[in-house]
Amino acid sequence: MTGPIAPQNNPPIEPQYYKPLSYTIANIVSGLTTTVTVTPSFGVSNTYVVGQTIRFVIPLVFGMRQLNGLQTIVTQVLGNTFVVPIDSRYFDSYIPSPPYAPTPAQVVAVGDINSGLTNVDPKNVGTVIPGSFVNVS
């Protein structure tokens, strides 16, 4: 694909509308498992936890197109770096700073593994899913 891409075709995810936040991807290291480093969002460091479900949004100019749109869980967290169980050894390389990138590569929280309360008796206690995102857009 050549030439500019109209911004309305791939609008960036606005991280302030999600809890836990979405983060811009600083780097991705390929391997038997995939290691992702994110930049703090609005001064907040990585808030993802082990078991957190996330989804990747990676525009083509950043490479690693095979990871775009994949949903997975976080298996290890160390500061602003986390590991996901995706074998990316044969994926395209990630390009941290492409020459033209109107939309950043991002990772977005999808929710967790449904570990919240459920209706177990006649009274309605609602559903609480700790770690799930709140979209207020």
* Cα-to-chain-centroid distance, residue 122: 37
Could you read off the pLDDT of 7-34 as tens digits, one per residue? 556 566 665 555 557 899 999 999 999 9
The pLDDT-based confidence of 71 (bands split at 50, 70, 90) is very high
- pLDDT (0 to 100) of residue 100: 87
- pLDDT (0 to 100) of residue 121: 53
The pLDDT-based confidence of 90 (bands split at 50, 70, 90) is very high
Q: What is the CA radius of gyration of the chain?
A: 16
- 96 and 46 Cβ atoms separated by less than 8 Å: no
Mean pLDDT of 89-104: 91
Residues 6+ apart with CB under 8 A from 24: 15, 38, 39, 41, 104, 105, 106
Alpha-carbon distances of 28 from 34, 118, 119, rounded to whole Å: 7, 36, 40
pTM: 0.69
Q: Which domains does the chain have, with CATH numbers?
A: 13-111 (2.40.30.180)
Could you read off the pLDDT of 103-118 as tens digits, one per residue? 899 998 885 444 445 4
- pLDDT (0 to 100) of residue 6: 60
- 15 and 8 Cβ atoms separated by less than 8 Å: no
Mean pLDDT over the full length of the chain: 78
The pLDDT-based confidence of 61 (bands split at 50, 70, 90) is very high
